[in-house]
Amino acid sequence: MTGQAPAVSRRKRPAGVATTDVTLSAHIGSNADVFPLVLDLHVPRGSRVADVTWGKGAFWRKVPADAYQVHATDLQTGVDCRALPYADQELDCVVLDPPYMEGLFRRDVEHLAGSGSHAAFRGRYSNGAATEAGTGPRYHDAVLDLYLRAGTEAHRVLRNHGVFIVKCQDEVSANRQRLTHVELINAYAEAGFYCKDLFVVVRPNRPVVARLLRQEHARKNHSYFLVFVKLDPRHPKRLRAVSSNR
């Protein structure tokens, strides 16, 4: 016997609680169902948010009207997402959802996807105008070009550690698989964004394929919300914890 007191365990009790009440990465539903979850986890209430491809504002249908300071713009209302009317580093969050299908980037308006009975689709997903004639990128590269130029502009108007939410969907173009979400993650990383999160949205209904001859690729019934954080160029390795609304 040495008379010493018994050793006290110095192991820390783990913090936190066991729960299944967490935000999940994959959801069957609509953009309007998933977008509020993305905001809740990544964008503190009261933030100044610019949705630069507002369309019909469908993303915001289930977000409380007073939750954010929202600036809604679109090419249809005269604001190009590649030339935004904001000062450098003015915003906390930018939301981008341009036309994601190469069929919506054609030089002749007659050749735009979504004609005839699908006109409502075209109206919802594009500005209904043909791509400018000239030597610019075509087809899927035109899709990427718009995303990348808009990304450069978002980088300019976001403050350091601001959040860039990007909606996209992969596509098969000229019979080639183009994984748009991978292309964007890689390109935006070069531009100074860290891809912090990825949400998968699975549509609840089965897509119809018109004129199927032979199937070569799985028909896509999912899309993505990608969540990027603008890195501070002076401290590109530093990430700041965000106080989520959860």
Ligand X SMILES: C[S@@+](CC[C@H](N)C(=O)[O-])C[C@H]1O[C@@H](n2cnc3c(N)ncnc32)[C@H](O)[C@@H]1O
Positions touching ligand X (CB under 6 A) are 52-53, 55-59, 74-76, 80-82, 97-99, 125-127, 146
Q: What's the closest the beta carbon of residue 13 comes to ligand X, in angstroms?
A: 45
Q: Which is nearer to ligand X, 52 or 231 (CB)?
A: 52
Q: What's the closest the beta carbon of residue 123 comes to ligand X, in angstroms?
A: 8
Q: What's the closest the beta carbon of residue 195 comes to ligand X, in angstroms?
A: 20
Q: Contact, 9 vs 184, CB < 8 A? A: no
Q: Which is nearer to ligand X, 80 or 232 (CB)?
A: 80
SS3 of 238, please?
A: coil
Q: What's the closest the beta carbon of residue 22 comes to ligand X, in angstroms?
A: 26
Strand ranges in the chain using DSSP code E only, listed in sequence order: 26-28, 48-51, 69-72, 91-96, 158-168, 171-173, 176-178, 193-202, 222-230
Query: What number of other Cβ atoms are within 10 A of residue 49's Cβ?
Result: 23
Q: What's the closest the beta carbon of residue 237 comes to ligand X, in angstroms?
A: 32
* 51 DSSP 8-state letter: E
Q: Which is nearer to ligand X, 47 or 53 (CB)?
A: 53
Q: Which is nearer to ligand X, 59 or 228 (CB)?
A: 59
Q: How far apart are CA 191 and CA 154, in angstroms?
A: 10
Residue closest to ligand X (Cβ): 55
SS3 of 38, please?
A: helix
Q: Which is nearer to ligand X, 202 or 239 (CB)?
A: 202
